[in-house]
Chain A
């Protein structure tokens, strides 16, 4: 191989020193790669979507009346953070519900303790383990009456089914398709499902989901979590919480 040829068409051999003519080209490729990686990394990171306003806070304690169906709720009677009459969704810490602990306490006056998460109209307490998180108030008189559901009519709403814990700020973002399997895991574990509507009903966009009879609806909605869906059902008010008693048969992907 002559020098002239080498200059016009350099031949790279991996175990030998790179031909002089090729070095500026290779240095340029290396520099371009570094700029590409740095630039793409910056743009991909800086354009991440806003995960929303959900947020957590320091541990809170509240006393109130527990309702078991469709998902464990607390009608607050006494708390430093929440006004009396406020409705709190209850779940366990991480991807656990509290159905096992709450089943024997339906309608009883209980004390709850855990980490609050909230977003919009949704307030949830992620209870600590065992009786530290949920316990019967001993020696209490009969529990005060809980607010009766008030029907707000039958509605067709468009929105996203989420797990109540993550959408309220336990995870940021706690919505969207990348988070879908995680949301399903939460729901399967017993965390209450929440419907985030694209339009408000009586000024509220977040609804606790239930089936048409007011019971849990988790199994029927798992394939429709984290995508925009259209669904029909009765909306009712329980305290300050809206419950959307959906007809799972009417669930369809939003056109």
Chain B
């Protein structure tokens, strides 16, 4: 499952690499006038294209069709306000949750004997390997 996910991510990035190559060599001059004659900055765009190539293709499509101008001056103000307020409310919730589940250490809990040993072994305490025997073996 995870291996498949990683493989999909790899394929995604390879497609991104192909898009980056075509876009930076050929496409960018058609959709971005300020990029004409500017080449040194182009490698800087590669990481963005690798990560966001579907968005790059969509924007190319929009720009080539020229349906872009009107909405350029309508910032997502309401979305920004909403997301900022949600963040402001989420932070105390996350912090409280994290502190509530926290186990304060050191936690002192007694060991509870539920049932004593079935029968006391005759040779208790445990018999380690007899030192004499060990030495005897070591002599081999």
Contacts and interface: CB of A to CB of B under 8 A. Distances in A.
Does A touch B (CB under 8 Å) in the complex?
A: yes
Interface of A: 63-65, 75-78, 84-86, 109, 137, 139-141, 143-158, 197-201, 227-228, 230, 232, 237-240, 253-254
Contacts of B135: 78, 84
16 contacts: A64-B129, A84-B128, A84-B134, A85-B130, A140-B140, A144-B137, A147-B128, A148-B121, A150-B125, A154-B113, A157-B112, A198-B109, A227-B103, A230-B109, A232-B114, A238-B126
Given A85-B129, A154-B115, A232-B114, A198 B108 contact: yes
B131 interface: yes
Contacts, number: 108
A86, A153, A200: most-surrounded residue (chain B CB, <10 A): A153
| Size range of the chain B interface in the assembly | 20 to 34
Contacts of A75: 128-129
A77 B137 contact: yes
Q: DSSP majority for the A interface?
A: strand
Contacts of A199: 108-111
Interface string B95-126: 00000000101111111111111100100111
A146 B130 CA distance: 9
Contacts of B103: 227-228, 253-254
B89 interface: no
Contacts of A232: 114
B5 interface: no
B127 interface: yes
B133 interface: yes
A82 to B, nearest CB: 11
B70 interface: no
Interface of B: 103, 105-118, 121, 124-131, 133-135, 137-138, 140
Contacts of B117: 150-153
A84 B103 CA distance: 40
Nearest to A238: B126
Contacts of A143: 137
A104 to B, nearest CB: 20
A150 B126 contact: yes
Contacts of A156: 111-112, 114
B126 A148 contact: yes
Contacts of A158: 107, 109
A162 B135 CA distance: 35
A208 to B, nearest CB: 14
Given A155-B114, A198-B107, A141 B140 contact: yes
Nearest to A86: B128
A154 to B, nearest CB: 4
Contacts of A237: 125-126
Contacts of A152: 117
A139 B129 CA distance: 20
A139 B130 CA distance: 21
Given A153-B117, A156-B112, A200-B111, A144 B126 contact: no
A144 B115 contact: no
Contact of B128 (A228, A230, A239, A253): A239
Contacts of B112: 155-157
Given A75-B128, A77-B134, A150-B126, 12 more contacts: A78-B137, A78-B138, A148-B126, A150-B117, A150-B124, A153-B116, A198-B109, A199-B110, A199-B111, A228-B103, A237-B125, A240-B128
